[in-house]
Amino acid sequence: MTGPRTPLQGAVYADSATAARYFESGAWLDRRIDQQLRLCAERYGDRPAFICNDMVLSFGELDRRADALAIALRESGLQVNDRALFQMGTTLETVIAFFGCVKAGIIPVCTIPQYRELEMHKLADLTRPAAYFVQKDGGSFDLIAFAKKVAREKSIPHVFAFGEPSETSLVELGSQTISTGARTPALSSSSEDVVALQLSGGSTGVPKIIPRFHAEYMGHVRQWCDRYAMKSGDVGIWALPLMHNAGMMFALVRTVVYGCTTVLMSRWDPERFFALIEHWKINHAFTIGPHAPAIASFKQIQSYDLSSLRFFFTLQGAGPIERATGVPATNMFGITEGLVLTSGPEDPVLARHETVGAACSEFDEVKLLHLDSEDEVAEGEVGELCFRGPSSLRGYFAAPELSAECLTNDGFFRSADLMRRVRIEGRSAYVFEGRTRDNINRGGEKFGTEDIERLIALHPDIADGKVVAMPDPIYGEKACAFIIPKPGRALPSIAELGSFLIEKGLAKFKLPERIERTEAFPTTRVGKLDRAALRAIAADRIGKGIEPK
């Protein structure tokens, strides 16, 4: 309990009294994540830590390779608290790269491979990275060439690529130092220092960057996974991006906190998903909206042995999953700003399937506030989810004004998510009721609409355009664009608008997937754009099966 020893300018830290309280209670773990990996290597050296495409990486081998990579990174000139953009897949190389950076004191900026110029340029401007980790994508897009281009344009001196024959891979980079006898660079950082910079989706065009810290991240993971009765040696499966906050928690950090094994799926496929559960005797499975219907509707479920599987947890769709598999399942809610709501295997079915559960830590304080004040709503009413606790955001990275907008006077984070509190068998749980801000949650990836609308307005045939969420049975939400065409101009098709936006640097998953022609946008009584009305129009037309004109 020493406070941050290598403080990062722009990060907001807990005061010493608060930190002491969390350490003493066990809500925080007084150890760095790289130290936790070393502890696992000493205790469980030959136990599989990560498995991907039938390749097994033990705790001992992971520790050795991460050490070697850390040496190579520091010898390349990188320093403690240097930032590194990550655009890598769900692979063992990503695992090694992450832990190598942690051992070297380099801070990953956790992006996803789907980001393009718009997102990566802004992140580079905000975080000023010294390195860029990238992995060849299996699709037609040349992600390595893209990364090198961004690095040139943003003066990022080091690009570490994997998957290109002409490039020295991350594994090779680490292996080259193993035989040299070089020592892992000693870190003076404490458990209260920053380990990663995560991203939050939101309504603004400026990325919101969230510092996560060694002690609180591991404590957060333990509090969450204890709810699911996880234990050392358990096996989990992960088929989503690793550097996303959820992947960081369940796959990367959970593995070393519990000494667990994580099976990685680099590509989602329901048949292989069930085959891996049977083969590796999976105990816990995490999934999201787009995967949940595929799991629940998979016709060959009964041909697989799921007897090892104790629990499913998902962002939505727990009921259909449990009915299809016979395995207990729960809905949950997670936000990168530091709160997880969920139920456990022993909680009532009504709580697991009809709510998103309750907070995991006894130190998490949750309020539902009126949108226009800091007063709590009456019991049973819908209000804005607000919280503070051991892992709650204390301030966005290098954004004091944005932080002030999102925090109450007593430090509760205003999530912009609408919830209703209910009582089930004497215990409180929360029901998700929607959002207050203009962001879209497409299969767990949240994004704002400001950048999309700004780019739409550049189209030569469009006078103005607004983007809102529309309901989708698979992804939960997708983007719908309401467009006013210029006089005498034809409305672009979805494909034409998509091609235009991609050329402007927008990530593909943010593209509008429905276009509604309009002559004017609805407004509120005070003359502001009525986005709720636009969402209602889109939902009504989709519900009635009305095709866009």
Average pLDDT over residues 14-21: 96
Residue 330 has a pLDDT of 97
Residue 205 has a pLDDT of 57
DSSP 3-state of 41: helix
For the chain, the straight-line distance linking the first and the last C-alpha, in angstroms and rounded, comes to 63
Residue 521 makes CB contacts below 8 A (sequence gap 6+) with 464, 466, 482, 484, 529, 530, 534
Closest of 313, 317, 248, 246 to residue 282, by C-alpha:
313
The residue that leads in pLDDT, 446 or 74, is 74
List the chain domain ranges. 26-267, 439-543
CA distance 50 to 85: 22
pLDDT-based confidence at residue 446 (cuts at 50, 70, 90): confident
26-267: CATH number: 3.40.50.12780
pLDDT > 90 fraction of the chain, expressed in percent and rounded:
80
Residue 3 has a pLDDT of 92
CA distance 129 to 127: 6
439-543: CATH number: 3.30.300.30
367-415 tens-digit pLDDT: 999 998 999 999 999 999 999 999 999 999 999 999 999 999 999 999 9
Q: Would the pLDDT of 526 be above 60?
A: no
Q: Is the pTM of this model over 0.95?
A: no
Do the beta carbons of residue 459 and residue 497 sit within 8 Å? yes
pLDDT-based confidence at residue 137 (cuts at 50, 70, 90): confident
What is each CA distance from 527 to 84, 463, 484, in whole angstroms? 44, 19, 18
Do the beta carbons of residue 40 and residue 59 sit within 8 Å? yes
Residue 173 has a pLDDT of 62
